[in-house]
Structure 1
Amino acid sequence: MAYLSAARKGATIFGGLYAAAILAVMIPYIQTQCVQVYLLNNTRPHPTLVLWYALHDLFPLNQLVLVLQFLHALKIPLFSDYNTPEKYGLAPNKTANLKISTADGELLGAWFILADQFYHSLPSHSAPPVEHVGAALKARPTVLFFHGNAGTRAFGARIQHYTTFSSRLSANVLAIDYRGYGDSTGTPSEVGLARDARAAWNWLIDNGALASDILIVGHSLGTGVSSLLSAELSDEEIAPKGVVLLSPFSSISKVVETYSMLGIFPLLRPLASIPRATEFLMKRLIHKFDTDKLVPRMKGQIIIAHAGECGSRHPGTGSQDRPTENDWDIPYTHSEALFTAFLDPHLPQMIALPPHLASLSQEQWSEFTSRAAERREAREALVSTTEIPKFGTLHKFNDGKRTVTHVQTLHGGHDYVGIQEGVSDIIGQTFGFF
């Protein structure tokens, strides 16, 4: 007991110092003073610190937080030539480079990629692809794709998504760079990205697409954007073909809480011993992207896909074994949480326990365990689970109005779960591409 007490005390002290350090470096004055001391005591200071000090007054902390959350300054590939998508592997005259205007005056860079089936039906490929947009939208469904943070629409992993959608699904693809990304104007924000998504949607409709022919697909940060657009459209009783969330998060705050550097070192774990320290930091997040809170507003068919090496525990079954992590950026538990959020309204609601379990009566405990058993049985009856050898596990339920599907793959990591043929086939079968 003495050892545990000492360990607890040590963890508390360490957590306190860690929290104090985090809070301290959030204060511009302390940042400046620390760097000044370093520069004065080092005849050959690191060039990065010298540059940081020189730019500090021009780059306030709130701007630093913005950059770290969206990583829009990482314009990878560098010096991208958006007018020449062929440079990044797309077929000649298959992709139109566009500019899309938003409601608040920003100009978004975008690519419209013709579906393979339509592209190969053309008598020649000499005409600019922009001339075929209207006909392509009428001929084949379209994937409206929202990418993750960092990089641009020319990033290699994103190109692979476009080619997968245009070939495997034979769908047109509209891919945008949000404000502040690529060659788009403006500065990113949660509200701004939602406006960008609606501008892209409106562009498709204005050019002749039917809402029922547009599949909204988001990856990583793009799942938050996709969910915002889906909720907005549902509020207006507009029904797209459906929504696909690839490597999604339940909320940005939960990502920060669960993030581990290199998949090993939990970023905020040292703060756990300090009451309300993590909560305090979470409240400082400006752009929250609370996808889990949007679930009640999202209508229509939904697919959630995430990489996590499958164990015997699956959403909706109540089994306790844990899968192995395959996504080092966003844990698969975020997808489980979202699937459960869609499922929850169709299950018996749990009884709230009192704040102090010591005051729990035998009658309350019996009622709680009984309700938990009812809920588990209801989940098992509603959710179908299919093991697909060497690929992963498929969970789905139908509430009478729509099907919600959770695909948990063995492979794919964070960036490539969506380009797996198995995932594409599930998308194609669910949304009628085949």
Structure 2
Amino acid sequence: MGVLKSGFLFLVFTVSLYPVFVLLLTNPWLQRHALYAHKLHSGFYHDVNKPESFGFAAHQVTPFNVSTPDNEVLYGWHVLPLATVAANRDALAATDPFDQALSLQLLKSDPEARVVVNFHGNAGHVAQGWRTDTYRALSNQPHTHIFTVDYRGFGRSAGSPTEAGLITDGRALVQYVLSLGIPPSRIVILGQSLGTAVASAVGLSFSDPTSELLPQPLLGAKTETAVFRSIILVASFSSLPDLLLSYRIGGLIPVLAPLRGSPFLVGLISKYILDTWPTGLRLNAYASAAASVATKNDGAGNVHILHARDDQDIAFAQSEKLFAMATGREVEVLPLGTREEAKDGKVKVRVEMLQYGRHNRVVTYAPVGLAVMRAFEGL
């Protein structure tokens, strides 16, 4: 009886705290700290300025800073292809590890150079968790450079995160890569979790800078449009309000799931969500805009969505819905494997369901590397 009583009291205590939890999340400051979790990182004992401590070859990673149009300074990494490091070992060893000159020269002088612009998920910093495994895996591909930054407020980057701010950050990184002389046709944009929302918005911002689905005016926007080799989305979601109906913090603590039976309460709480990240709508707009910008028959602009069925943070149904919204299909349960669709006036959208990988580790798995390789090779 004592165990049952304790369990009952714990249940009552938990249920009574839930309304307080939801009410607290309507506070803008708390909401953004909960969403972006940018203060949760291992920077106090992991020095991101020592990439070798994360398993990289000496001088394979060059830290750099990039400034945004609204004057925030972002911290980033340029990861060299491992083959390039091997071929230039002595020259790299003779340079200051924070001097970008040689690493950028090696990028610019390689006519086959390719760039993966990586947008990571929430929490942590550029080198946290499985992120470094992703960079190492991709840098094993020939001629493949990786550029990544911490969004504003994350890691060593200045500022505080907002939806408009992260889109500005993503655009600033892409503009930086373009300024190095790398054409859009040799750039793949890769996003994981929150990074998929950033990647989709950034892709749309270059194919249609005036889109009403983007924060306007778009900081740093130029009149010319561009479409990149591919946009690859790993563990994505259709929109933040929709995600919160099924999302569980750490795979355990539900956010809005207990309210799903009450459309009124869901609608009421949704009005307080500041950053909605409507990725499904943006991806649909991108699929149309990119088709009109991309060079005919070059395979550029395609979208590849990957999701693990054992993802405990974001249900794979979110990627199914994203695929449906991007292509105009009805939502359906997709079997393991791939499905793709290209309609008149739209680029091709591919979705791939993986059996394993969970939420974070999946981006290190071979299917993601294959997606990058397929994009660059035009397969």
**What TM bracket, shorter-length normalisation?**
0.7 to 0.9
Alpha carbons of structure 1 residues 273 and 93: separation in structure 2 relative to 1, 3 Å: closer
**Normalising by the residue count of structure 1, what TM-score does the alignment of the two structures yield?**
0.70
Is residue 2:160 matched to residue 1:187?
Answer: yes
Is residue 2:75 matched to residue 1:103?
Answer: no
Structure 2 residue corresponding to 1:22, chosen from 19, 22, 25: 19
1:261 shift after superposition: 5.0
Is residue 2:320 matched to residue 1:332?
Answer: no
What is the SS of the residue equivalent to 1:276? helix
User: Is contact 1:303-1:427 (8 Å) kept?
Assistant: no
> Aligned residue pairs: how many?
330
| Root-mean-square deviation (Å) | 2.8
Q: Following the alignment from structure 2 to structure 1, what is the Cα–Cα distance between the partners of residues 258 and 179?
A: 51
Q: Following the alignment from structure 1 to structure 2, what is the Cα–Cα distance between the partners of residues 63 and 256?
A: 18
Is residue 2:204 matched to residue 1:231?
Answer: yes
> Counterpart of 2:105?
134
Is residue 2:294 matched to residue 1:294?
Answer: no
Q: Following the alignment from structure 2 to structure 1, what is the Cα–Cα distance between the partners of residues 356 and 248?
A: 19
User: Is contact 1:169-1:433 (8 Å) kept?
Assistant: no
> Counterpart of 1:397?
341
What is the SS of the residue equivalent to 1:156? coil
2:303 maps to amino acid: I
Alpha carbons of structure 1 residues 337 and 138: separation in structure 2 relative to 1, 3 Å: farther
Q: Following the alignment from structure 2 to structure 1, what is the Cα–Cα distance between the partners of residues 315 and 342?
A: 25
Q: Following the alignment from structure 1 to structure 2, what is the Cα–Cα distance between the partners of residues 163 and 24?
A: 39
Q: Following the alignment from structure 1 to structure 2, what is the Cα–Cα distance between the partners of residues 25 and 405?
A: 36
Please show how residues 32-431 of structure 1 align to structure 2 within 5 Å.
61-122=27-88, 124=90, 125-126=92-93, 127-128=95-96, 130=100, 131-139=102-110, 140-168=113-141, 170-235=143-208, 236-260=224-248, 263=251, 266-298=254-286, 299=290, 300-308=301-309, 326-344=310-328, 392-399=336-343, 402-431=347-376
What is the SS of the residue equivalent to 1:328? coil
Greater Rg over alpha carbons, structure: 1
Q: Following the alignment from structure 1 to structure 2, what is the Cα–Cα distance between the partners of residues 397 and 25?
A: 39
Q: Following the alignment from structure 2 to structure 1, what is the Cα–Cα distance between the partners of residues 321 and 352?
A: 13
User: Is contact 2:188-2:372 (8 Å) kept?
Assistant: no
1:90 maps to amino acid: F
User: Is contact 1:304-1:335 (8 Å) kept?
Assistant: yes
Q: Following the alignment from structure 1 to structure 2, what is the Cα–Cα distance between the partners of residues 343 and 21?
A: 37
Alpha carbons of structure 1 residues 282 and 26: separation in structure 2 relative to 1, 3 Å: same
1:150 shift after superposition: 0.4
Alpha carbons of structure 1 residues 410 and 202: separation in structure 2 relative to 1, 3 Å: same
Alpha carbons of structure 1 residues 93 and 273: separation in structure 2 relative to 1, 3 Å: closer
> Counterpart of 1:372?
none
Q: Following the alignment from structure 1 to structure 2, what is the Cα–Cα distance between the partners of residues 213 and 92?
A: 26
Alpha carbons of structure 1 residues 76 and 137: separation in structure 2 relative to 1, 3 Å: farther
User: Is contact 2:119-2:195 (8 Å) kept?
Assistant: yes
User: Is contact 1:138-1:209 (8 Å) kept?
Assistant: no
Q: Percent of pairs identical after alignment? A: 27
1:203 shift after superposition: 1.1
User: Is contact 1:179-1:187 (8 Å) kept?
Assistant: yes
